[in-house]
């Protein structure tokens, strides 16, 4: 280690200690099952809240094992999708009664895009989709366009205002770009879509639980999101669907299931939709993962999203500063905007040797992930990531980059994270 590197390390470590000492959210880390690993992959899979296993065991042994079918009523299983939706609502700036939990993000994207197309007034026949989106959103939007007879128009978020017009029915956008961490202008783009007469559908997978969203305040029409990232619901935990109250009476789901029927146990051949957000339900709720998610949300009790956002920006600022000091010049370039108004809660670094570098990082106790071929992703979950974690991650990255690249780095054992999930 060079003298310059060592001096920087001492200075940054001291700053990290001071920042952690002043961090009002620092005690939340104790709520999670974590070890000495620096875990910067919460933007792909959140850490396990420590109390969840006991709650799941209770569901298994008492609610399922003893009460069995009685738990649909006595344990509140039947109303879980709406109850848990109301717990997520404050985290995304929504009033109660507008979010239902269930199914996957992909299924909810399909419901939202088709329903938005059906809600659009007049003879509108175009669906705009974020051309930089996570691939599944694009696949689903294309399928929805084929099913409704609409024309699909892929555009970047920056191109949306100019692409809007009298034929625009719905626009599907990501609040935060999964690859670069860029935060898009939800208020401004939603207003532009409305001015053109269309409906705005937002994918919140990389923003919910990391920053204020303001669904109600900004007039969003429909939104979807996963719960296994910053909401820490567990692998494959159910997603959610937001339907603004003003649209609920006319919301026409392309997947009308028995649990969204006005009289689900009437078993009638004709479909009559229930009132409210219940219309977003389809089939029998996935109770085990749903109740694990409900327990996970306890870590948010008394935690304002605004405080989480402030810490997120401080963490990512500090990480970028540390990387600039530790990384050899020219080896990595940030793809994540420097401006706070354009940054989510992750940092994406372009690196030619991304795969072997991430393998080496994981082997040394710093877990991020990658997006092939050349992007290192680091997610910052303020509930459990501290400033000392940030300094250590940047320092280890600098050490790895300072070693011989290529085959020597590629000898690190284990599979590189990043090929699973968003």
Catalytic residue ranges:
134, 203, 228-229, 377
Contact of 416 with 355, CB cutoff 8 Å: yes
Alpha helix ranges (H) inside 225-366: 287-296, 305-326, 354-363
Q: Which residue has the tokens 């327990």?
A: 295
User: If 0-12 CB within 10 Å is exposed, 13-18 middle and 19+ buried, where does residue 183 land?
Assistant: buried
Peptide bond just before 373 cis, omega within 30 deg: yes
Contact of 33 with 50, CB cutoff 8 Å: yes
Alpha-carbon distance of 367 to 385, in angstroms, equals 12
Query: Can you name the residues that pair with 281 across neighbouring β-strands?
Result: none
Contact of 197 with 124, CB cutoff 8 Å: yes
Non-local (6+) Cβ contacts of 36 within 8 A are: 365
Alpha-carbon distance of 67 to 78, in angstroms, equals 14
Q: What are 40's two structure tokens?
A: 């910067």
Alpha-carbon distance of 53 to 71, in angstroms, equals 19
- Side-chain-side CA neighbours of residue 76 (13 Å): 9
| SS3 state at 376 | strand
Closest by Cα among 143, 129, 138 to 171:
129
């Amino acid at each position: 280690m060079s003298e310059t590197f060592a001096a920087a390390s001492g200075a940054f470590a001291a700053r990290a200690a001071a920042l952690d000492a002043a961090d009002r959210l620092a005690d939340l880390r104790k709520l999670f099952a974590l070890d000495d690993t620096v875990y910067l992959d919460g933007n792909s899979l959140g850490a396990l809240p420590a109390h969840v296993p006991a709650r799941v065991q209770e569901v298994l042994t008492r609610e399922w094992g003893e009460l069995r079918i009685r738990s649909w009523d006595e344990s509140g299983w039947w109303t879980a999708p709406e109850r848990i939706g109301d717990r997520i609502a404050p985290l995304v700036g929504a009033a109660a009664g507008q979010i239902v939990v269930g199914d996957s993000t992909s299924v909810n994207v399909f419901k939202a895009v088709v329903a938005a197309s059906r809600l659009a007034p007049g003879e509108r026949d175009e669906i705009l989709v974020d051309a930089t989106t996570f691939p599944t959103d694009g696949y689903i939007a294309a399928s929805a366009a084929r099913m409704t007879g609409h024309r699909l128009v892929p555009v970047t978020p920056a191109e949306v205002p100019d692409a809007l017009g009298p034929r625009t029915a719905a626009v599907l956008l990501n609040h935060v770009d999964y690859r670069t961490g860029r935060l898009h202008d939800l208020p401004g783009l939603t207003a532009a879509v409305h001015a053109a007469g269309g409906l705005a559908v937002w994918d919140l997978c990389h923003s919910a639980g990391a920053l204020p969203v303001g669904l109600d305040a900004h007039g969003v029409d429909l939104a979807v999101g996963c719960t296994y990232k910053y909401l820490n619901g567990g692998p494959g935990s159910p997603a959610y669907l937001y339907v603004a109250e003003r649209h609920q009476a006319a919301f026409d789901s392309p997947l009308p299931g028995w649990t969204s029927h006005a009289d689900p146990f009437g078993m009638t051949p004709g479909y009559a939709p229930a009132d409210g957000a219940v219309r977003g339900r389809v089939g029998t709720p996935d109770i085990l993962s749903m109740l694990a998610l409900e327990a996970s949300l306890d870590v948010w009790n008394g935690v304002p999203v605004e405080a989480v956002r402030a810490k997120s920006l401080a963490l990512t600022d500090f990480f970028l500063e540390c990387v600039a000091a530790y990384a050899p010049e020219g080896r990595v370039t940030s793809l994540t905007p420097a401006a706070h108004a354009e940054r989510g809660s992750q940092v994406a670094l372009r690196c030619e040797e991304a795969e072997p570098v991430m393998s080496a990082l994981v082997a040394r106790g710093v877990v991020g992930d990658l997006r092939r071929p050349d992007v290192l992703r680091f997610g910052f979950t303020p509930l459990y990531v501290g400033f000392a974690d940030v300094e250590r991650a940047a320092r280890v990255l600098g050490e790895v980059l300072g070693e011989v690249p290529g085959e020597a780095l590629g000898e690190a054992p284990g599979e590189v994270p990043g090929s699973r999930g968003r």
